[in-house]
Structure 1
Amino acid sequence: MTRPAEILTALAVGAGFGAATSLVNALSDSYADFESRAYTTSGWSIAEIVSVLLDSGWAWAGLAVAVGWLITRAREGRPPAPAWGGALAGALALLAATAAYSIVDTIRSGGQLPWYTSEPPLWWVASVVFGAPLGAVGACVKRPGAIGLLARLTVPVGAAVQMVVLPPGRNEVVQAIGRTVVWTAAAVSVGFIVVRFLLVERRRRSQAAAESP
Structure 2
Amino acid sequence: MTDNQRHDRSRVARLVEILVKALAVGAGFGAATSLVNGISLGYADLESRTYTTSGWSVAEIVSLLLDSGWAWAGLAVAVGWLVTRGVESRRAALAQGAAAGALALLAATAAYSVVDTLRSGGDFPWYASEPLVWWIASVIFGAPLGAVGACVKRPGTIGLLARLTVPVGAALQMVVLPPGRNEVVETMGKTIVWVAAAVSIGFVAVHFLLVERRRHSLGMPSRSSGRA
Shorter chain as denominator, the TM-score bin is over 0.9
Q: Is it true that 1:31 corresponds to 2:43 in the alignment? A: yes
1:62 to 66, 74, 77: 74
Superposition pairs for residues 133-212 of structure 1, below 5 Å?
133-208=144-219
Deviation digits for residues 75-111 of structure 1 (CA, Å, limit 9, x no counterpart) = xxx6365211100000000000000000000000011
Q: What is aligned with 1:89?
A: 100
Per-residue deviation, 1:208 = 1.5
One-letter identity of the residue aligned with 1:148: G
Superposition pairs for residues 126-137 of structure 1, below 5 Å?
126-137=137-148
RMSD: 1.4
Distance in 2 between residues matched to 1:132 and 1:157, nearest whole Å: 19
Distance in 1 between residues matched to 2:40 and 2:57, nearest whole Å: 7
Per-residue deviation, 1:172 = 1.1
Deviation digits for residues 144-172 of structure 1 (CA, Å, limit 9, x no counterpart) = 10000000000000000000000111111
Per-residue deviation, 1:21 = 0.1
Q: What is aligned with 1:109?
A: 120
2:33 to 21, 30, 43: 21
Q: Is it true that 1:50 corresponds to 2:31 in the alignment? A: no
One-letter identity of the residue aligned with 1:15: A
The answer to whether the 8 A contact 2:18-2:96 is kept is: no
One-letter identity of the residue aligned with 1:79: E
Distance in 2 between residues matched to 1:107 and 1:209, nearest whole Å: 57
One-letter identity of the residue aligned with 1:163: M
Q: TM-score, normalised by structure 2?
A: 0.88
Q: What is aligned with 1:79?
A: 88
Q: What is aligned with 1:7?
A: 19
* 5+ residue gaps, structure 2: 1-10, 222-228
Deviation digits for residues 43-80 of structure 1 (CA, Å, limit 9, x no counterpart) = 10000000000000000000000000000112xxx636
* 5+ residue gaps, structure 1: none
Structure 1 runs (4+) deviating above 6 angstroms are: none
Per-residue deviation, 1:181 = 0.1
Distance in 2 between residues matched to 1:209 and 1:171, nearest whole Å: 53
Q: TM-score, normalised by structure 1?
A: 0.94
Per-residue deviation, 1:18 = 0.1
Distance in 1 between residues matched to 2:46 and 2:204, nearest whole Å: 41
One-letter identity of the residue aligned with 2:17: A
The answer to whether the 8 A contact 2:163-2:204 is kept is: yes
Superposition pairs for residues 112-123 of structure 1, below 5 Å?
112-123=123-134
Aligned length: 207
